[in-house]
Amino acid sequence: MSQPRHHVRLFVALAILIVTLYAVLTSLNGNAGFPLDDAWIHQVYGRNLALTGLFAFVPGVPSAASTAPLYTVLLAVGYWLHVPFYIWTYMLGAVGLAFTAILAERLTWRLFPEKPQLGLYAGLACVCAWHLVWVSAASMETILLIALSLGVIALAWLPKPGPRAGLAMGLLGGVALAMRPEGALVLACAGGFALLAELAVAKREWRRVIGWSVATAVGFALALAPYFALNYSLNKTLFPNTSAAKQAELAFVYLWPIWTRIQEVVTPLIAGPQTFLLPGFVYALWLLGKRIRADHTAIRLVALPVASLAILLLYAWQLPVPFQHGRYSIPALAPILILGAAGTGLLTARRARNVTVRSAYSALRIIVVSGFAVFLVIGITVYNEDKRLINTQMVDSARWITQHIPLNELLATHDIGAIGYFAPRPLLDLAGLVSPEIVPIVHDNEAVVRLMQERGVRWMMVSDFQIVMSLDDKRLCPAYTAEPAPKPIHMIIYRMAWDGNCAALPPIP
């Protein structure tokens, strides 16, 4: 058997290079920024934690609207060290992408130990997949969750794991959950199949298996303790309130058939070179099945594809929306890339007597390699357009707010990120993330409007799709309109004339 060759330096160099290219090339002509308003929410929490020591969106007002408190802490470290936040954020993304590729290589060695060169293919597939690069450069926690999840699976695949391995896996699983709640699902898959593998051959090793299981549970509990304590101190529940807000806002999707929900979750992930890896993915699963039939302990390896499936089903059940290129379900993509790249390498290396089959294998290799290159370039243009929309709609609007709206005049909005960063002030969050009182009435526009009037809201920033009043309502007084953009994201700032007399409002300062 060939000795596996490590490619750590290659993956690190590629991750830094690709993330830097995405960040720099799309920041020309004043387009610096991030492709999501949620990215600015993370920056607000990180900055406020560094400056005040509080998990707070509005300075001095603790809240639990960050789904990723560990990512908040990592961002806060950058602010505390006075590293420019763009550089620090992109560095975190590059680190996550590099570790994803490194762990993909090592997991592939365990899947196919007789072909160690396949690890290089899997690592390259991960570091060059435009979806993974996009989230790495998006100031989001997703790529770090992917790396942590692969680390959990790698620990579960250790031969004859003992208490130390169990403790490490439990701790890492808890850390993954603190990065995003899906981390617990990956730990359940990895630990569950590892336990099945151990039970298949345990015989006289019950003490080791029990010790490993208990240590895993203890490690997970130790990692969870500060996470639960933080959330309980902020909102008297064990989890952030973002999930409840999202589910309330998107309640209508739960009326869709399950197949429609699955389609909504899966479709954005098809837009990439991973589609060309599907034959290899199926071939890898078939080889994995053969291996399990011959060696029952290999069932632990099933955790990789099952974790991917579990994430897809979780979002089909709880949040079946294709937002931002499937950013919620992107963690499910890494196992597909790993198995698909390895399987494609094995499939195209087969000796075929038929000329047509050999030609098909050669064509598949060319299509896969060129597909990754082409989609990396396409990804830059997509990322650039996403940034441009956020900058022209959210960031520019926030800068206008800074110049024209006094801090003592309450603003209601559905997109709080850029406002929180560039125009920090008390807000009424119409999505309910930092205003949980909105959640029970989020679909009752009349109740929302009554609450706005009771609170004395003077301004509202929304798109036509987010507005809670009729566009011809005389209480709406347009004050600022962002650059033309698709209706779901096109921002307009209104002054609120609760008496219906816009002309009587004082001039805008």
> What pLDDT sits at residue 87?
96
376 and 227 in a single domain? The answer is: yes
Count the domains in the chain.
2
Could you tell me if residue 244 is inside a domain?
yes
H or E element at residue 119: helix 118-128
CA distance 479 to 471: 14
394 and 419 in a single domain? The answer is: yes
> What pLDDT sits at residue 357?
76
CA distance 90 to 87: 5
CA distance 86 to 94: 12
395 and 371 in a single domain? The answer is: no
Q: Which domain holds residue 454?
A: 385-504
- Beta bridge partners, 478, equal 494
Place of tokens 């000796």: 351
- The domain boundary, picked from 355, 384, 413, lies at 384
> What pLDDT sits at residue 242?
66
338 and 397 in a single domain? The answer is: no
- The domain boundary, picked from 357, 384, 411, lies at 384
Could you tell me if residue 372 is inside a domain?
yes
Burial class of residue 502, CB neighbours in 10 A (0-12, 13-18, 19+): middle
> What pLDDT sits at residue 349?
82
> What pLDDT sits at residue 243?
63
117 and 256 in a single domain? The answer is: yes
Could you tell me if residue 2 is inside a domain?
no
- Ranges of the chain with pLDDT below 70: 1-3, 202-204, 241-251, 352-353
Q: What 3-state class would DSSP assign to 229?
A: helix
Could you tell me if residue 3 is inside a domain?
no
> What pLDDT sits at residue 73?
95
Q: What are phi and psi of 57, to 5 degrees?
A: -90, -55
Contact 119, 334 (CB under 8 A): no
CA distance 163 to 210: 9
404 and 354 in a single domain? The answer is: no
pTM of model > 0.85: yes
CA distance 273 to 154: 25
> What pLDDT sits at residue 290?
93
- The domain boundary, picked from 384, 419, 450, lies at 384
Tokens coding 332: 């499910």
DSSP state of 385: H
Q: What is the mean pLDDT of the chain?
A: 90
Could you tell me if residue 283 is inside a domain?
yes
